[in-house]
Amino acid sequence: MTDLLGALAQSRGRTVTVGGTTMTPPDLLAAAAAVADAVTGRLPAVERVAVHATPTMETVVAVLGALAAGVTVVPVPPDSGVAEVRHVLADSAPGCWVGEPPADRHGLDHVPVDLAGRASYRPREVGEDHADFVLYTSGTTGLPKGVLLPRRALVAGLDALAEAWAWTGDDVLAHGLPLFHVHGLVLGVLGPLRLGGGLLHVGRPTPEAYAEAARAGATLFFGVPTVWGRIADAPEHAKALTDARLLVSGSAALPAPVFERLEELTGHRVVERYGMSETLITVATRADGSARPGWVGVPVAGVETRLRTDDGADVPHDGESAGALEVRGPTLFAGYLNRHDATAACWTDDGWFRTGDVAAIAPDGRHRIVGRASVDLIKSGGYRIGAGEIESTLLGHPAVAECAVVGLPDADLGQRIVAFVVARDARADDALAAELTAYVGAELSAHKRPREVRFVDALPRNEMGKVQKTRLRG
């Protein structure tokens, strides 16, 4: 099967910087090869290895070394609680840690990473169905599940994004994302390295750090909406991104006001994309396409999508009708580790993966994600209402800094629409609540207006910046 890093071995002139440490491609591969030799010496007893995925060069070399050794990598978030780490290790049963382990090793030995170590890079051959990663879900509906990502999915997903974004070895990617999930690790590290391009991990993703990366020659920038919102609020730093080639947002919907402000400041229309651990990126706005706020683009090469009603009927692609989003294609995972029941439940009888998300598809194939079926599809008074549409509208009001919309049980309506709002100033009172309710009713439809507005100091978010609506509904 294709070596993930074949182009990196031929790369010249690009460097990789993570955690303040810079390495050239030859040195990076040689250091990874030294780790691979150490891991290979433990085979066949070691099938999987755990990596304490701090935002450091040691993490990158540990991951690359394990992949070169042909073992499965289990990235462990550095901010995980004791119970979560215990569950991940018990479920995935790694043979050892690779790289610097956490203070509590949980009884596992470790293979150290020496950034000065050097060996000949000879990646072990693996089949296309070999699991390169076990990435654990957020666990919002129970214990985190281990997503098995095979080599075929990584190759198909990264190559499809390279085509969609005209991403080449001439690009230098900059971001400050965590290195334990699809966005930061698979796209943000393996993506540029597979193409032989440059990588500049900025550490904390501040506006100042992104501006400095732009001045250092970065051409491609990844961020989550929270990061882009902060950059939009810092015009002196945002303007430094003018010479970038492409700005990409993901992991949650980018608010329309942030999109418009960034276009005003940088001249760029931020492109969005959609995916999840189980599917990698399946839908993306193309570099040569027309980015629009609220729309995440079209299926990448090899991927198909469809919308279904609750009873399995087709949903029209009219840009308005919402339905359950299902996908199929080469980027999909191989199942959940040790969870045959959960794996079987997420597939339809005819081979489509149920994403659990609700979307609308325009006649030209562009997708708009309404949200999770479990929390973002509100059934109120006989209407099926997408929370995302209401949130985007509220964010257009000058008094709203952040918001989240949920459906709460209602004896009359089934669910009533409730908006949790972080106000921009101290005027968080009944008069503003009434004003926001009327604003939504005028901008959208009367049945989409919030029946209740609750003002909060902050919205609960996970490490990726996604709002945890289950906590709001509790």
* pLDDT at residue 128 tops 70: yes
* pLDDT at residue 443 tops 90: no
CA atoms within 13 A on the CB side of 101: 19
pLDDT in tens, 271-314: 999 999 999 999 999 998 789 988 999 999 999 999 998 888 99
* pLDDT at residue 470 tops 90: no
pLDDT in tens, 246-260: 999 998 788 888 999
Class of the CATH-defined domain 270-372: mainly beta
pLDDT over 90 percentage in the chain: 73
Of 379 and 202, the structure prediction assigns the larger pLDDT to 202
Distance CA 223, CA 205 (A): 8
* pLDDT at residue 145 tops 90: yes
Confidence class for position 462, pLDDT limits 50, 70, 90: confident
Q: pTM of the entire structure? A: 0.85
Q: Out of 41-50, 96-105, 108-117, 455-464, pick the least confident.
A: 455-464
Q: Check residue 144 and give its pLDDT.
A: 86
Average pLDDT over residues 48-65: 98
**Which amino acid would we find at residue 345?**
A
Average pLDDT over residues 447-451: 91
CATH for 8-203 is 3.40.50.12780
* pLDDT at residue 465 tops 70: no
Do residues 317 and 350 make contact, with C-beta atoms less than 8 angstroms apart?
A: no
Which positions ≥6 away from 19 have C-beta within 8 Å?
54, 55, 56, 57, 58, 201, 203
Q: Out of 285-289, 392-396, 449-453, pick the least confident.
A: 392-396
* pLDDT at residue 218 tops 70: yes
Average pLDDT over residues 417-441: 91
* pLDDT at residue 266 tops 90: yes
pLDDT in tens, 182-200: 999 999 999 999 999 999 9
pLDDT in tens, 323-353: 999 999 999 999 999 999 999 999 999 999 9
Task: Compute the mean pLDDT over every residue in the chain, rounded to the nearest whole number.
Answer: 92
Q: Check residue 139 and give its pLDDT.
A: 55
Structure tokens at 240: 């430094």
Q: Out of 16-20, 136-140, 272-276, 458-462, pick the least confident.
A: 136-140
The structural domains of the chain, with segments of one domain joined by +, span 8-203, 270-372, 377-473
**306 CB burial (10 A radius; 0-12, 13-18, 19+):** middle
Which positions ≥6 away from 18 have C-beta within 8 Å?
55, 56, 57, 59, 60, 179, 199, 201
Q: Check residue 141 and give its pLDDT.
A: 52
Domain covering 377-473 assigned CATH 3.30.9.90 in the classification: no
